[in-house]
Structure 1
Amino acid sequence: MKAFVLRSYGSPDVLELQELDKPEPGDDEVLVRVRATSVQPYDWHLMRGEPFVARLIGELGLRRPQITILGADVAGEVAAVGKNVTEFSPGDEVYAMPKQGGFAEYVCVPERELAPKPGNLSYEEAAAVPLAAGTALLAVRDHGQVQPGHKVLVNGASGGVGTFAVQLARAYGAEVTGVCSSRNVDLVRSIGADKVIDYTEQDFTRNGQRYDVLVDIAGSRPGSACRRVLTGKGALVAVGGQAGRWLQPAGHVFSVLAAGPFVSQRVSSANVVRCEETKRNLMTLTELIEGGRISPVIDRSFPFERIPEAVAYQETGHAPGKVVITVAD
């Protein structure tokens, strides 16, 4: 099979297209023929080996990458199954968040992390869902505990996670305000935001409004300023922050969590990579997608051979929605 391999940290140029042996599924694994994948900050953080603090605490290899094939989202067809697999058969259309391996023509995925692809989505659309929508689901449903009538603010509403967070908050009955740049105001409004704040014109932490839940994806304001916009029992859910070589965005998230024991609001962080309920969450997302309550927003699509270019584009941080990759036959 063909795969883009990461042997050392660096720019997208370090991703090398190579011919590798097709993997063999283990007893509890499914071999998926990848038809589409997507690119996200998770991938280029692994590619860059940043922030450096992640190397020191063991989440990244200290000198070289632990993960050699990036690509945390996958949509495709079942090619083969292990002897213990009972839910899937060759030819089934599936999607998954294997956390690695999507930048290849084939990937092995544990059966517990695989779900049937939403029937109303193409492979490209389905590949835009797992990590971004899964993170948004954790932030909105689990950590934010959004209920009908809640007022929810999504800071970073036009990105991959943000576009899903806006839609999910609406699906759970909330009144949603999205924060984004001028050029994405119409997009955020079109996916269901009741109100949109253009951060180039207004500081959402100083407009006097109060919210029950703040999903902070952009990490553009200090935690103390974010808590100021919450009700006394509101929830601040930190998802990400501004990128940096040494500490950020981890530093921003840690600083938000550090204040938790000392404030009245609930403070937490949504990290889908460590979630053990991947399959169940994918099934929930499938139900919401097939019911027409949420849908992926795709900015650009690239062919498989241009994955380094796609990563470079996504790394600029200006992509509204998702960047997807089509893997041809």
Structure 2
Amino acid sequence: MVVIVDTVSATPVRPRHPEKVNRPDALSPPKPDWIRVRAPTTRGYADTRNIVKENGLVTVCEEAGCPNIGECWDKKHATFMIMGDTCTRACAFCNVKTGMPGALDANEPEYVAEATFKLGLKHVVVTSVDRDDLTDGGAEHFARTIRAIRARCPETSIEILTPDFLRKDGALEVVAAAKPDVFNHNLETVPSRYLNVRPGARYFHSIRLLQRVKEVDPSIFTKSGIMVGLGEERHEVLQVMDDLRSADVDFLTIGQYLQPTRKHHAVMRYVTPDEFAGYEKVAYTKGFLMVSASPLTRSSHHAGEDFARLQAARAAIIR
């Protein structure tokens, strides 16, 4: 469950890329059987939906049409999206709203901590929109949120999924100093697709960010993920694996890109389950502690269970 805590409006910032348009009415091929999921109908899903509605919360799970919403909401898995629901960038794959962000809510870290407590979360994921308008990209807000959760829920493990903090010197260090258990930053795609898919980002800056986390605090698990089906070649995916391992990244996720609307980048092809299994096998041989590669893999899917497996994998190496 991805929950957005609302913020108060403030001075608007005009986004660099005002529209998320790869090309008008981009058409994707029909979804194959392996990418289809059943409509959610469980009691747990209904209970989570009621909590969301009763508290006036907005969820990316619904807005993005996440295929795992039924499973995750049934288990009350939660990923909190902080710093508002409006992004300063317009990546061609993402369905999050682009526009003029509001001011940060100084009380938001406490709200997130309280929600974590009420939901009884053993592992929580905190993400955000890009906030290029802020001098630190929202780094201190991330750090305050981590500290608030630690104070309210000391037994809860914390995973963060951050923006790239591009051109925000020192931002990464502020977040890492708050000591999240897992630091995730997604590359999203291979370098050759950045201009079309992630034009506001820089591939090697993202690699360096992940590497820097380990330099600041080697005890923090690092994690990154990409989508496939955007026109990449297999050898490019393998090169991404090598680049991430050179940065000592622990956990790799690979999932199928799904087009949110016709105004977003089209799906170039649907990668088969056998190909995903092949990627996972190769990634393990390259030294990742954890790999999740499947059509429905998403960054925060099974995050709690995966964290336990990460801990066990590291412990096995130490022994």
TM-score when normalising by structure 1: 0.31
More helix by share: 2
Larger radius of gyration: 1
